[in-house]
């Protein structure tokens, strides 16, 4: 059964803090891992894409995948008020039958 | 570059009326196409996906249908809307044979009244 668990929040942190967002998944067949950012009433925007285990860094964002623990993380350094949004994790396996999403974490960065 | 267009952005329809939402992709050929619905507190639910013209797979039984009349066009339809069809509908695409990163349109907020 496809399943991805994600704490819905809200998570409120002060500007400049390091933010840690996490998801767990149950199916070890997943091998593609993504983080999306979604502003209110907009479509999700791809932030990070990782294949298999390891870290990937892009500016202030770092994505981490631990396949042995079935655990994925997104770290945001020097958080800004513009980072306030809902963050969705997504996982994919073989085939083209679509991604499985977490329910999203609502993040609030306080100025 | 590849872009995806989805319209309309907002739609209010009475119960029992038909529905047609359209999505088109530009800048690529033979994309995989997806319709998701997003409800508050429930995340994104995959409704339909298509790997080619005329090829539609449905993930959940429902009051909706999908069609792909052209390579880069994906349509979501209903003959008679229900109140429970209200939600935020998102079209997405990706490339290749695997579930790699998908790119989303801006969504259609449908309210059935």
Burial of A38 (0-12, 13-18, 19+ CB in 10 A): buried
> Residue B3: what are its φ and ψ, rounded to 5°?
-135, 155
The rounded mean pLDDT for chain A is 93
When mean pLDDT is compared over A87-96, B7-16, B56-65, the highest value belongs to: B7-16
Contacting residues of B for A103, CB less than 8 Å apart: 41-43
Q: Model confidence at B1, in pLDDT bands (50, 70, 90)?
A: confident
Instruction: Determine the distance in angstroms separating the CA of B28 from the nearest CA of chain A, rounded to an integer.
Output: 17
A contact test, residue of B21, B33, B43, B90 with most A CBs within 10 A: B43
Question: Is B107 close to A42, i.e. CB distance below 8 A?
Answer: yes
Residue B39 pLDDT: 86
The sign of the CA dihedral A98, A104, A108, A109 is negative
pLDDT digits (tens, 9 = 90+) for A20-52: 999 999 998 899 999 999 999 999 999 999 988
* A67 pLDDT more than 80: yes
Residue A2 pLDDT: 55
Region B56-74 average pLDDT: 91
Contacting residues of B for A104, CB less than 8 Å apart: 43
Residue A8 pLDDT: 86
3-class DSSP string for chain B: CCEEEEECCEEEECCCCCEEEEEEEECCCCCEEEEEEEECCCEEEEEEEEEECCEEEECCCCCCEEEEEECCEEEEEECCCCHHHCEEEEEEEECCCCCCCCEECCCEEEEEC
Q: Which residue has the higher pLDDT, B20 or B99?
A: B20
Burial of A67 (0-12, 13-18, 19+ CB in 10 A): middle
Percent of chain A whose predicted confidence (pLDDT) is above 90: 79
Question: Is A41 close to B109, i.e. CB distance below 8 A?
Answer: yes
Other C-beta atoms within 10 Å of B49: how many?
26
Contact present, B24 and B73 (Cβ < 8 Å): yes
* Chain A contact present for B51, CB below 8 A: yes
Region B97-106 average pLDDT: 87
B contact test, residue of A34, A44, A46 with most B CBs within 10 A: A44
* A95 pLDDT more than 90: no
Residue A93 pLDDT: 84
The rounded mean pLDDT for chain B is 93
């Amino acid at each position: 059964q496809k399943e991805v668990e994600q704490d819905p929040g809200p998570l409120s942190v002060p500007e400049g803090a390091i933010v840690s967002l996490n998801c767990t998944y149950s199916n070890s067949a997943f091998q593609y891992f993504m983080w999306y950012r979604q502003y209110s009433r907009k479509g999700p925007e791809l932030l990070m894409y990782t294949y298999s285990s390891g870290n990937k860094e892009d500016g202030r964002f770092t994505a981490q995948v631990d396949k042995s623990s079935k655990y994925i993380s997104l770290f945001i350094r020097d958080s800004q008020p513009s980072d306030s949004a809902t963050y969705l994790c997504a996982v994919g396996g073989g085939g083209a039958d679509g991604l499985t999403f977490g329910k999203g974490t609502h993040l609030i960065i306080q100025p | 570059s590849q872009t995806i267009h989805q319209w309309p952005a907002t739609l209010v329809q009475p119960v029992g009326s038909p529905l047609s939402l359209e999505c088109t992709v530009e800048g690529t050929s033979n994309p995989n196409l997806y319709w998701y619905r997003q409800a508050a507190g429930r995340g994104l639910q995959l409704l339909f996906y298509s790997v080619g013209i005329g090829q539609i797979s449905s993930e959940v039984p429902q009051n909706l249908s999908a069609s792909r009349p052209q390579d880069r066009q994906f349509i979501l339809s209903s003959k008679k809307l229900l109140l429970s069809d209200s939600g935020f509908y998102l079209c997405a695409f990706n490339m290749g044979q695997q579930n790699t990163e998908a790119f989303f349109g801006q969504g259609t907020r449908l309210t059935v009244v």
